[in-house]
Copies of this chain bind each other. A is one copy, B any other.
Amino acid sequence: METEERLTALRKLMNKHHFDAYIIPVTDTHLGEYVPAHWRCIAWFSGFTGSAGTIVITRDFAGLWTDSRYFLQAEEQLKNTGIELVRLKIPHSPEYIDWLKEKLKDGSTIGFDSKVVSIGLTGKLEKFLEDKNIQINTSKDLVGEIWQNRPPLPDSRIFDFDVKFSGVSREKKLENVKQLMKEEGVDYHLLTALDDIAWIFNIRANDVKYSPLAVSFALIGFDNTYLFIDKKKIPDKLKKILSDAGISLMSYKEISKALMKLGKGTRIYLSPGSTNTWLYRSIPSFCKIIEGISIPAKLKAIKNPVEIEHVKNTMVKDGVALTRFFFWLERTIGKQKITEISASKKLNDFRNQQDLYQGPSFAAIAGYREHGAIVHYEPTPDTDIELNPEGIFLLDSGGQYLDGTTDTTRSISLGNPTLEEKRDFTLVLKGTIALSLIEFPLGTRGFQIEVLARKALWGNGLNYGHGTGHGVGFFLNVHEGPQTIGTGASGNLETILQPGMILSDEPGIYREGKYGIRTENLLLIEKSRETEFGQFLKFKTLTLCYIDTKLVEKSLLLPEEKKWLNDYHNKVYDMISPYLTGEEKIWLKEKTKEIRSF
């Protein structure tokens, strides 16, 4: 079936159900970042494969609302589909709601599938549209009705995530969550985010690309804990382990029924951002819903000592892979053909040589020259270009290891950098350093310190359009909340920074049509001194990979910044060199040699 036929079939169903408009979101039932094929409705329906977007179909119009990252790709992929590209003014904002309000007549009906839309968005739609008496019907998955050969739900094997990695048993985690549930005064906690579930039960799987998750729901009560999952996916041994921990297995589809059976007056805690409308509405109205950041999300953000020790070791392994890759790249470029995609594959090969490596933690952003200026660029066979011994190569990549998740960006010069490139690189580096050097009192929130990463850029009329720092999971999602360093919508602005949290530190500068520069390290929050003014905290840089000093304009660095860079490079060499060949060692020694004042 072609997209045009699908569009016709869908409009036929809209007619049948008396829908004046139908909305297809990019999200899945668990509202996670990486969507399994089973739920990739937009990709199947329209051919558009971007990670953000919403399709809205009326009787006489069909459009895909997406942001500037995807304008070129969407134009290409939507050609001759009958679906038009609508350019979002503000990324991630539901601008189609205003459009619907303007276009639809009083008394119209809008349909969408409540299973893949958050309760927050549904509420917003209802509120916006009530003025015009527009009805919302969320009971139909029209794409599902016409989707033949739809990929099944993911069915990867679930495995026990050893406590030697997780550091805390599932029993203890459940106990901790129940303690906080008691403090919140709730009877049940509904878990819908897959990383929350993987974390609390110490299970992992491969249902989702890049993240070791199992498609499931969970309901935690004081007497019973239920895991809703396709039981076939769980080995018998693990079934017994879970059962011994007091966890009852239920079929994945039974979650809704279980919620409907909650007794009168039950107080149930859930996170509105990851709870879909269908589940939310399964909770009887005589129950009291308490909304907040999920308790496992709050707990897992603070890494335990075992996790922290593992991550430090994982950073050495990941640093070795990155170092060997950059060595190989410098030695090979100009001698054999290397492209953005082949470079990413080669880097994955190097990571694959490391112990406990499981795969990339996200699609590497390998942006050569002007591609580096596209913030979420992921090379495809259509866009892939060859690297030459000139210009800047931005490489943002990470790995999933059984003992941790990594995320590192380095921008290197493949030739002789220009003055502008050096100046930009150094201003970005000043930001990376300034943020990592800050000491701050307990109680500080991430948005308060973000300016440190931007100050040097701002002072030169430069800026970047993304946040500065996100949380990172432990063999879990590479983007993990609730902490954030930024003022945007991702993460929770009110979350205070606490010891044990891991955050990225990634300022950048993007020169359209020329190059992109970003230097990203992961930072661990540790306790610093305690004074009469309270407990202070500081960052420890976890990432171990040299920074290309060829791009550093030394005259722009303050003494304390030079000291930071020299100390960092000493540490990188000391930690990484034991795992290198002689030739690599000599090369890394040169790459990490001291920058002197002059």
Contact = CB atoms under 8 A, between A and B. Distances in A.
Contact of A458 (B438, B451, B458, B558): B438
Interface in A440-467: 440-441, 445, 447-452, 455, 458-459, 461-463
B462 A531 contact: yes
Nearest to A536: B461
A487 B445 contact: yes
Contact of A455 (B438, B445, B463, B512): B438
A185 interface: no
Contacts of A450: 448
A203 to B, nearest CB: 39
**Most chain B beta carbons < 10 A, residue from A450, A455, A462, A530:** A455
A61 interface: no
B439 A459 contact: yes
A463 B441 contact: yes
A441 B451 CA distance: 11
A455 B439 CA distance: 8
A533 interface: yes
What is the oligomeric copy number? 2
Given A452-B451, A463-B533, A458 B439 contact: yes
A448 to B, nearest CB: 5
A261 to B, nearest CB: 27
**Most chain B beta carbons < 10 A, residue from A441, A461, A512, A558:** A461
A532 B452 CA distance: 21
A536 B459 CA distance: 9
Interface string A418-455: 00000000000000000000111100010111111001
A306 to B, nearest CB: 30
A531 B448 contact: no
Contacts of A448: 447-448, 450-451, 487
B531 A461 contact: yes
A461 B528 CA distance: 9
Interface in A528-557: 528-534, 536
A441 B455 contact: no
A459 B458 CA distance: 22
A514 to B, nearest CB: 11
Interface of A: 438-441, 445, 447-452, 455, 458-459, 461-463, 487, 512, 528-534, 536, 558
